[in-house]
């Protein structure tokens, strides 16, 4: 009997020891970086060490890459302090800054100030290239797919331009638009004919065409949208208190200073599909905020 009791006690101890692992651990300040690029995001997930090392060497602080691939999760993690520096899309960056008072815009890519989306169509859909925005009305009654629901270039701005032309998602075939989940998936579902048309980031489209990953006999661009602003680096407020004087400025300089001079910097710029980073201001993103509010993505 005694040995049985002893066994029961040790079983209980084993069950309880799970709790120990939740106890706090004292940590040094670490800069937590998150990023979900539009193009080949899986590469950054494998080569993040390069970015962390580069920033760490330039700033003399510990840098850790935090893999958050879900947009709403990244916004929430930024608000709750789980992420300090994030590469946000236009819409998600605005959402994150509105939820985190004092957060700052640090930089964008050279291409982000003049970003565009493309509307593509399956050639058998009978859709013709459009010369002005009003031509988007030809999409009424067609099967249409956006990309991810939080994407600026794959959903927000295309939906905005459609609304300007008087087209709402309820007018598409089936009474709604599809959401393929990503830019590359949008190309795939339109090329296959599952959807007759779709909208995506122009940069992703161009590189997919250049890499021969698109069958241009089956799918082609019918319209390029006007320019708008997209991706940007956003930092949490009060980093200077945690990492030392003028840290935020130094961080901005480190990002702006990335040039294709060393192999590591070449890789980093490649991962973000950027030639270089340029300074950016919060005011540039006001139009995105307005569109976000109009379409109910910002409350």
- What are φ and ψ of residue 198, in 5° steps? -165, 175
Give the one residue of 149, 253, 256, 270 binding other proteins; rule: CB under 8 A. Answer: 149
CA distances from 295 to 12, 134, 154, 158, 275 (A): 54, 19, 14, 11, 32
229 SS3 class:
coil
Contact status: 177 vs other proteins (CB under 8 A): yes
Per CB under 8 A, which region of 34-42, 53-61, 237-245, 258-266 contacts other proteins? 34-42
Contact status: 289 vs other proteins (CB under 8 A): no
Q: Please give the Cα distance from 299 to 294 (Å, whole number).
A: 9
CA distances from 207 to 3, 116, 183, 202 (A): 69, 14, 11, 9
Contact status: 216 vs other proteins (CB under 8 A): no
Show the site string, 71-110: x = touches other proteins by CB under 8 A, - = not. xxx-xxx--xxxx-----------x---x-----------
Contact status: 245 vs other proteins (CB under 8 A): no
**List of E strands, 74-231:** 85-88, 104-109, 117-122, 144-146, 178-179, 197-201, 219-224
Q: Please give the Cα distance from 21 to 181 (Å, whole number).
A: 36
Contact status: 273 vs other proteins (CB under 8 A): no
40 vs 284 by CB, closer to other proteins: 40
List interacting residues with other proteins (CB under 8 A). 7, 11, 14-15, 17-18, 20-25, 27, 30, 34, 39-42, 45-47, 64, 66-73, 75-77, 80-83, 95, 99, 122, 143, 145, 149-150, 174, 176-182, 184-185, 188-189, 191-195, 213, 215, 218, 296-299
């Amino acid at each position: 009997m005694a040995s049985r009791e002893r066994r029961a006690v040790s079983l209980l101890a084993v069950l309880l020891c799970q709790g120990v692992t939740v106890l706090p651990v004292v940590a040094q300040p670490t800069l937590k970086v998150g990023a979900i690029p539009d193009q080949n995001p899986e590469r950054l997930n494998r080569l993040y060490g390069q970015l962390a090392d580069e920033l760490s060497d330039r700033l003399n602080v510990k840098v850790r890459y935090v893999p958050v691939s879900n947009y709403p999760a990244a916004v929430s993690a930024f608000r709750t302090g789980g992420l300090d520096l994030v590469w946000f899309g236009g819409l998600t960056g605005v959402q994150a800054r509105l939820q985190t008072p004092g957060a700052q815009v640090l930089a964008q890519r050279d291409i982000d100030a003049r970003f565009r989306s493309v509307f593509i169509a399956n050639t058998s859909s009978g859709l013709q290239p459009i010369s002005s925005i009003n031509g988007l009305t030809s999409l009424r009654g067609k099967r249409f797919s956006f990309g991810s629901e939080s994407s600026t270039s794959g959903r927000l701005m295309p939906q905005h331009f459609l609304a300007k032309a008087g087209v709402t998602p309820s007018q598409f075939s089936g009474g709604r638009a599809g959401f393929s989940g990503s830019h590359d998936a949008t190309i795939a579902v339109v090329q296959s004919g599952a959807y007759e048309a779709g909208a995506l980031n122009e940069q992703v489209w161009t590189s997919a065409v250049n890499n021969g990953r698109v069958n241009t006999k089956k799918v082609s661009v019918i319209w390029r949208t006007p320019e708008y602003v997209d991706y940007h680096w956003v930092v949490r407020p009060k980093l200077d208190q945690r990492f030392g004087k003028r840290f935020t400025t130094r961080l901005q300089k480190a990002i702006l200073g990335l040039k294709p001079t060393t192999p590591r910097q070449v890789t980093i710029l490649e991962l973000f599909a950027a030639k270089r980073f340029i300074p950016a201001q919060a005011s540039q993103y006001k139009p995105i905020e307005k569109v976000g509010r109009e379409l109910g993505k910002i409350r």
